Amino acid sequence: MPDAALHTPYPPIEPYRTGMLPVDAIHTLYWEECGNPDGVPVLFLHGGPGAGLSPKHRQFFDPAYYRIVLFDQRGAGQSTPLGEYRNNTTQLLIQDIEQIREMLGIAQWLVFGGSWGSTLSLAYGQAHPERCTGFVLRGIFLCTRSEVDWFLNGIRWFFPKEHAAFAGHIPEAERGDLLKAYAQRLFSDDPAENLAAARSWSRYEGSCLHLLPHPEVADQFGSDAVALGVGRLEAHYMRNGAFLDDNQLVRNVGRIRHLPAVIVQGRYDAVCPPRSAWALHEAWPEARLQVIEDAGHAAFEPGIASALVAATEQFKRDGTL
């Protein structure tokens, strides 16, 4: 593999165009374009659901080569209303992606997504394979029942203190079904109760992202601007199985197997364990699976960030038009 120093993220950039797109009577989406307006289109899909964009997400792509399209999904980031779960399904997010693509006059694009972004990338690709030139996927999450159970309960085997705080937000009598208990609080009519539950949920996830501790990330995830989107929307999608049939994304991989793909997975990813990436790779052996031996889940752990930039560089060399 080339020297990792060749694959550090690109320097920070600013969008050359931004906008707000109303998609229904409730939701308005924030979107932006960066890089080369005449470049090869690439779509970035953020995680969560509900985590929203960071300016750092623009840095996985060569801005001289790529026309970089990013947007905050329904209920996330700068899209409004924050944390809104009504009219919020995978199928509607796929429709939103198509509306943005048509608005921007893009025929096809490379699709890049991590964690929940990998879920949405696969669902979108399988719905519209003719619109995709390939995929860069990180920290695979297929939103199966076993993965949801792992997130809610299994992580305690590796992060017992963090899980104890997460479960401790719920009275002991209700801890047998943490998803149900959190949902009752996240979707109650009491905004203060919503926010307290969302902070607890989001801080829990933020505390488990990295191989090595990064307490500042947990603090960021516990902030109101992040927590309400992450807590409410993750619970909403988990309790609805991401509005997909169980294991649907693996069963339907034949719809996109003809397209090139790179899968980047942290060996010690406690949030989205490597078993899901392996299951996807077994169904899609043509996809290149790269396991990063010294990483957890976070996109900007050095080995993962390097592999992601290397993947976009590989697509640049191979061409995606």
**Residue 115 falls in the annotated catalytic set:** yes
Contact 197, 165 (CB under 8 A): no
Q: Which long-range contacts (CB under 8 A, 24 or more apart) does 102-108 make?
A: 103/21, 104/33, 104/41, 104/69, 106/41, 106/67, 106/69, 107/131, 108/41, 108/132, 108/133, 108/320, 108/321
Positive or negative: CA dihedral 256, 257, 258, 260 = positive
3-class state of residue 176 by DSSP: helix
The active-site residue out of 163, 276, 297, 306 is 297
Phi and psi at residue 59, in whole multiples of 5°? -90, 5
CB within 8 A of 93, min separation 6: which ones?
A: 73, 74, 120, 123, 124
d(CA 307, CA 315): 12
**Residue 297 falls in the annotated catalytic set:** yes
The active-site residue out of 96, 236, 269, 306 is 269
**Residue 269 falls in the annotated catalytic set:** yes
d(CA 291, CA 262): 11
The active-site residue out of 115, 118, 207, 306 is 115
Number of residues that this document lists for the chain: 321
CB within 8 A of 10, min separation 6: which ones?
A: 58, 59, 60, 61, 62, 63, 309
d(CA 23, CA 25): 7
Closest by CA to 7, choosing from 316, 310, 312, 314, is: 310
Contact 69, 42 (CB under 8 A): yes
The catalytic residues are: 115, 269, 297
